[in-house]
């Protein structure tokens, strides 16, 4: 089960809404932060802290693409390949990440360093191509720039 | 034109409340709390503002529907789930001018009789979440939020609700489902959210840009506001330009600026002196326009006449190097991924369209595939609860209308000539 600090945090979130189920999405983010991904145990914790059936928790979580349903690498790269990024070379960058770092699209590198998630538009179309590494934002990407950026994520 | 929405955003500290106040911020709220709520709504009505999320519904009309409903409490939700590919116009407001949005929400909440507000922020904007939450805290501290706003006994409580990566949650009933902790699947309408919305109560869902216009409407009055831009849908408008232009970015211009001017005058023209091939004018759900179709006013009334839609004002510019089949295929992969699965024509249709487009792009297209695409798109149109299916179908229809020869070439030559 979550520790007391986390439970208190979830209580604070519940207080912002007229019903407890509304705290589900934020609580799933908290579980993901605590466990690294939404394991069975993580989702059980969420279900208990909100007094919701586990099936409801799992079903809802499965709908949203930013919840991780398997363990991820130490750093998660979220690269956009939608139209504005695509026409400016994002697909080439997907290939580059695989050859240079061994991280396949929507998979994790063998050394566990990176996971790569293909994103649907991260709202950086004016400075495309763009990505998030964990929660840090980078744009105007090229192969060279990606190499420089990822140096900081060991 | 004086900047309203992007005012002061050159200032690196523009998100801070003291900088915002130095530039005149929260004065509209001070003025609004001296007014009767119905007088504020009257000014918004006179302004003629239409919702900036994409549909262009008159804001005051939406407000009046909610106000006519006696149920209480009412909720005000800001739709900050900016997910339409090509769109990045709300982001500068959220990240650089958060207090403008907060001020707009407090005024709107007071006018509507809503005491609770939520900003539904897309999960892909983690920086905006921190900035908004810091700004909300500052606003509470200075009594622009809370239970006794400006000592007038007005209550408005505001918090950020973070989405988790689902395009469909930009649709207002799906957004409401999501804020209630459910899968983001659109609801049947009616009842509309203004009557039965979040937690079954009257709920007003307005886009970030719409709410950010409210302080200015209160400041200069509805009539003066209505003189800006197009007469039938006035006001300043954020256009975001991406793709093959010299100066991509967000431009605040009078509503109704011509698409040609946006591309050539403001965004610096086609990159590297390239030749314009096509423009998606309002985010990828809006039909494509060919190079000779850009002499149109970018507003909610003129764009449908020009064969497309204003949508979110997200202009994606493509030069001669871009393969239109590939663009259509990529767009359909997006729609297939984002279809919520509730309506069969959308769930199955996007899947089939993607499969057919994929084989055409990869040189495996068959005779009759173009007709098949049109058929499937035709079956989807108008047969879904929300506009996602219509948007997906419209993309295919628009592309075939203007670039049929490129689809035919792919099928005939069994390859994509744009790939090297």
Find which of B88, B279, B334, B354 to mutate to test the A interface (most A CBs within 10 Å of its CB).
Answer: B88
Which residues on A lie below 8 Å from B318 (Cβ)?
A: 87
Strands (E), A2-135: 75-80, 107-108, 114-119, 131-133
Q: Apex CA B192: angle with CA B190 and CA B197, to 5°?
A: 130
User: Are B56 and B125 in a shared domain?
Assistant: yes
User: Beta strand pairing status for B74-80 and B203-207?
Assistant: parallel
Give the separation between CA A143 and CA A136, rounded to whole angstroms: 18
DSSP state, residue B291 = G
Map residue A118 onto helix, strand or coil: strand
Same domain (yes/no): A59, A102: no
User: For position B1, what pLDDT does the model report?
Assistant: 74
Distance CA A24, CA A57 (A): 7
In terms of CA atoms, which chain A residue is nearest residue B181? A22
What is the tens place of the pLDDT at every residue in B384-400? 999 999 999 999 999 99
Tell how far CA B395 is from the center of its chain.
Answer: 17
Residue A84, domain extent: 75-150
Q: Which residues of A touch B182 (CB under 8 A)?
A: 21, 60
Is residue B194 within 8 Å of residue B65, measured between CB atoms? yes
Identify the domain boundary among B226, B247, B275. B226
Give chain A's domain count.
2
Is A68 inside any structural domain? Answer: no
Considering the domain architecture, whether residues A50 and A101 belong to the same structural domain is answered as no
**Could you tell me what percent of chain B has a pLDDT over 90?**
99
**In this complex, is the C-beta atom of A130 within 8 Å of any C-beta atom belonging to chain B?**
no
How far is the C-alpha of B94 from the C-alpha of B128, rounded, in Å? 6
Residue A69 lies in a domain: no
**Which of B166, B196, B226 delimits the end of a domain?**
B226
User: CA angle, B166 as apex, B163 and B170 as ends, to 5°?
Assistant: 80
Specify the CATH number for the domain of residue B355.
Answer: 1.20.1440.230
Are B306 and B82 in contact by the 8 Å Cβ rule? The answer is no
CA closest to B91 among chain A residues: A123
Whether B419 is in a domain gets the answer: no
Work out whether strand B154-162 and strand B114-121 pair parallel, antiparallel, or are unpaired.
parallel
Question: Would you say B97 and B13 are in contact if contact means Cβ atoms under 8 Å apart?
Answer: no
Q: Is the pLDDT of residue B302 over 60?
A: yes
Percent of chain A scoring above 70 in pLDDT: 100
Is residue A19 classed exposed, middle or buried when 0-12, 13-18 and 19+ CB atoms within 10 A define those classes? exposed
Whether residue A88 lies inside any domain: the answer is yes
Residue B154 covered by a domain: yes
The answer on B273 and B365 residing in a single domain is no
pLDDT for position B420: 56
Residue A58 neighbours by CB distance under 10 Å: 16
Nearest to B164 among A25, A86, A121 (CB): A25
Instruction: Judge whether B249 and B266 are in contact, CB under 8 Å.
Output: no
Stretch B52-67: mean pLDDT, rounded? 96
Number of H helices, E strands in chain A: 7, 5
* Beta pairing partners, B240: B250, B314
> Do B79 and B137 lie in a common domain?
yes
Section A5-23 average pLDDT: 97
Answer whether residue A142 is part of any domain.
Answer: yes
CATH assignment of the domain containing B282: 3.10.20.600
Which residues are CB-neighbours of B390 under 8 A, at least 6 positions away? B380, B381, B382, B384
Q: Which domain holds residue B48?
A: 17-226
Q: Residue A52: which CATH number?
A: 1.10.10
With H, G, I as helix, E, B as strand and everything else as coil, classify residue B40. helix
- Does residue B307 share a domain with residue B241? yes
- For residue A106, the domain's CATH number is 3.40.30.10
B8 inside domain: no
**Radius of gyration of chain A measured on its C-alpha atoms:** 18
Same domain, A106 and A139: yes
- Averaged over B168-193, what is the pLDDT? 97
Residue B325 has pLDDT above 90, yes or no: yes
Residue after which a domain boundary falls, among B272, B298, B319: B319
Q: Are residues B311 and B328 in the same domain?
A: no
Does residue A10 lie within any of the structural domains? yes
Mean pLDDT of A14-32: 97
Least Cα distance to B204 among B115, B64, B76 occurs for: B76
Domain match, B79 and B217 both: yes
Chain B residues 44-103 with a CB less than 8 Å from chain A: 82-88, 90-91
What pLDDT sits at residue B2? 86
Residue matched to tokens 């996007």: B350
Query: Counting Cβ atoms within 10 Å, is residue B261 exposed (0-12), middle (13-18) or buried (19+)?
Result: middle
Query: Does some domain include residue A102?
Result: yes
A47, A119, A120, best to mutate vs chain B, most B CBs in 10 Å? A120
B335 within a domain of the structure (yes/no): yes
Q: Which of A36, A63, A90 corresponds to the end of one domain?
A: A63
Task: Tell me the per-residue pLDDT of B77-136, one tens digit each, with 9 for 90 and over.
Answer: 999 999 999 999 999 999 999 999 999 999 999 999 999 999 999 999 999 999 999 999
The answer to whether A86 faces chain B, any CB pair under 8 Å, is yes
Give which of B85, B140, B162, B274 to mutate to test A binding, by max A Cβ within 10 Å: B85
Chain B environment of A60 (Cβ under 8 Å): 181-183
- Whether A18 is covered by a domain: the verdict is yes
Q: Is the minimum CB–CB distance between A105 and chain B shorter than 8 Å? A: no
Q: Which helix (H) or strand (E) holds B76?
A: strand B74-80
Side-chain half-sphere CA neighbours of B272 within 13 A: 7
- Span B308-327, mean pLDDT? 97
The structural domain count of chain B equals 3
């Amino acid at each position: 089960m979550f520790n007391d600090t986390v439970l208190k945090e979830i209580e604070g979130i519940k207080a912002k809404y007229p019903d407890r189920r509304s705290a589900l999405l934020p609580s799933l983010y908290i579980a993901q932060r605590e466990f690294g991904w939404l394991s069975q145990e993580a989702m059980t914790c969420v279900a208990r802290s909100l007094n919701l059936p586990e099936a409801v928790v799992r079903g809802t979580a499965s709908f949203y693409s930013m919840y991780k349903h398997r363990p991820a690498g130490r750093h998660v790269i979220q690269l956009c390949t939608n139209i504005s990024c695509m026409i400016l070379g994002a697909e080439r960058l997907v290939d580059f990440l695989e050859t240079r770092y061994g991280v396949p699209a929507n998979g994790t590198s063998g050394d566990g360093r990176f996971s790569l998630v293909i994103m649907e538009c991260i709202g950086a179309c004016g400075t495309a191509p763009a990505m998030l590494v964990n929660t840090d934002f980078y744009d105007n990407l090229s192969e060279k720039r990606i190499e420089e950026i990822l140096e900081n994520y060991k | 034109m004086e900047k309203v929405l992007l005012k002061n955003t050159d200032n690196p500290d523009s998100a801070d409340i003291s900088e915002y106040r130095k530039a005149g911020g929260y004065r509209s709220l001070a003025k609004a709390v001296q007014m009767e709520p119905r007088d504020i709504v009257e000014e918004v009505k006179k302004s003629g503002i239409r919702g900036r999320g994409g549909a262009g519904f008159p804001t005051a009309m939406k407000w009046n529907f909610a106000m006519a409903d006696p149920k209480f409490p009412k909720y005000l939700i800001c739709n900050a789930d900016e997910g339409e590919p090509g769109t990045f116009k709300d982001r500068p407001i959220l990240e650089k001018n958060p207090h403008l949005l907060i001020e707009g929400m407090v005024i709107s909440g007071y006018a509507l009789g809503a005491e609770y507000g939520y900003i539904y922020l897309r999960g892909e904007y983690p920086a905006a979440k921190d900035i908004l939450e810091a700004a909300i805290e500052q606003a509470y501290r200075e009594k622009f939020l809370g239970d006794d706003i400006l000592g007038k006994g007005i209550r408005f409580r505001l918090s950020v609700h973070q989405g988790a990566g689902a395009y469909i949650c930009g649709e207002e009933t799906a957004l409401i489902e999501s804020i209630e902790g459910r899968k983001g699947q659109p609801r049947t309408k009616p009842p509309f959210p203004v009557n039965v919305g979040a937690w079954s109560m009257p709920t007003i869902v307005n886009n970030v840009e719409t709410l950010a216009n409210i302080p200015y409407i209160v400041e200069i009055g509805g009539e003066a506001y209505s003189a800006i831009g197009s007469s039938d849908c006035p006001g300043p408008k954020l256009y975001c330009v991406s793709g093959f232009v010299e100066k991509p970015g967000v431009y605040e211009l009078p509503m109704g600026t011509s698409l040609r001017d946006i591309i050539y005058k403001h965004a610096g023209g086609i990159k590297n002196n390239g030749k314009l091939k096509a423009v998606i004018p309002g985010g990828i759900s809006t039909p494509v326009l060919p190079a000779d179709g850009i002499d149109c006013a970018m507003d909610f009334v003129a764009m449908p006449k020009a064969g497309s839609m204003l949508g979110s004002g997200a202009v994606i510019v493509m030069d001669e190097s871009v393969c239109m089949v590939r663009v259509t295929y990529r767009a359909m992969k997006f729609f297939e991924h984002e279809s919520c699965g509730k309506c069969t024509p959308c769930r199955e249709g996007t899947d089939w369209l993607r499969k057919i487009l994929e084989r055409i792009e990869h040189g495996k297209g068959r005779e009759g595939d173009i007709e098949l695409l049109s058929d499937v798109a035709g079956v989807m149109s108008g047969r879904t609860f929300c506009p996602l299916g219509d948007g997906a179908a419209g993309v295919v229809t628009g592309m075939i209308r203007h670039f049929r020869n490129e689809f035919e070439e792919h099928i005939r030559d069994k390859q994509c000539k744009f790939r090297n």
